[in-house]
Amino acid sequence: MNINSIFENNKEWIARQLALDKDYFTHLAEGQSPEILYIGCSDSRVTAEELMGAEPGEIFVHRNIANLIPNTDLNSRSVIDYAVSHLKVKHVVVCGHYHCGGIKAAMENENLGILNPWLGNIRDVYRLHYKELNAIEDTDRRYERLVELNVAEQCLNVGKIPEVQDAIINRNLSIHGWVFDVRTGQLIDLTKEFANSFQIRAQKIADIYLFKPDTSG
Ligand SMILES: [Zn+2]
């Protein structure tokens, strides 16, 4: 991708869109009502809309290194709050991907400076699932499993947010955990597997993270 060709590409894209629908941009300017919030990795190979076949206006997107929702990260928390409380999305998707550089970096014991606090969130996931991960002898499979478990833990982090809990209870908001396989282009839905494994811990999770409903008025 040559940066000098971008504005030419843009003109061509506008012409293509208008040829399909002369009111395309008029409709786009009217506002957005996406049903899905997608939280994915910043990796240039894992685009949000293309891999789902979605059009502009259909998906609210947040991307960062290794699709994390840390407890104190105002950026991702603000995106989730806006999407859930104001746009009233019906689904929150956390999508990880195999061959994720962020996950790989977290598995190596290297000091990466300013990246350390961010990657520490992934190392926490490794620590939580240490027994399962260390029992996997094949390094590639262990790396893949950490990608999957990271998605599971980030789904849980989404569920810790009171606005999300309210939306789950009051309007059936659902949380989905996916993995994108860059080797095949396939999207894999791990929601069921995670739901089963979290079921075992559900009461503990509810005891610790579920906020009391606001009855003040
Ligand atoms: Zn990644």
Residue 200 is predicted with a pLDDT of: 52
By annotation, the residues acting in catalysis are 41, 43, 45, 97, 100
CA–centroid distance, 176 to ligand 1, in Å, is 18
**This prediction's pTM:** 0.92
Tally of domains in the chain:
2
188 shares a domain with 136: yes
In angstroms, the Cα distances linking 192 to 55, 80, 160, 172, 196 are 27, 22, 19, 17, 6
Both 3 and 41 in one domain: the answer is: no
Query: Cα 113 vs. chain centroid, distance in angstroms?
Result: 24
Q: How far is the CA of 96 from the centre of ligand 1 (A)?
A: 7
| Same domain assignment for residues 42 and 133 | yes
Q: What are the CA-CA distances from residue 104 to residues 77, 97, 108, 156 (Å)?
A: 25, 11, 7, 21
What's the pLDDT tens digit per position in 66-101?
A: 999 999 999 999 999 999 999 999 999 999 999 999
Residues 112 and 141 in one domain: yes
Task: Give me the average pLDDT of each 10-residue run along the chain (217 residues).
Answer: 92 95 94 96 92 92 98 97 97 97 93 94 96 96 96 93 92 94 94 71 74 70
User: Do 141 and 48 belong to one domain?
Assistant: yes
Residue 18 sits in the same domain as residue 68: no
* pLDDT score recorded for residue 217: 58
CATH code, domain with 44 = 3.40.1050.10
Q: How far is the CA of 156 from the centre of ligand 1 (A)?
A: 19
pLDDT of residue 157: 93
Q: 1 CA to middle of ligand 1, Å?
A: 20
Claim to verify: residue 84 and residue 170 sit in the same structural domain: yes
- If asked whether residues 57 and 7 sit together in one domain, one would say no
List the domain range (segments joined by +) for residue 17: 1-31
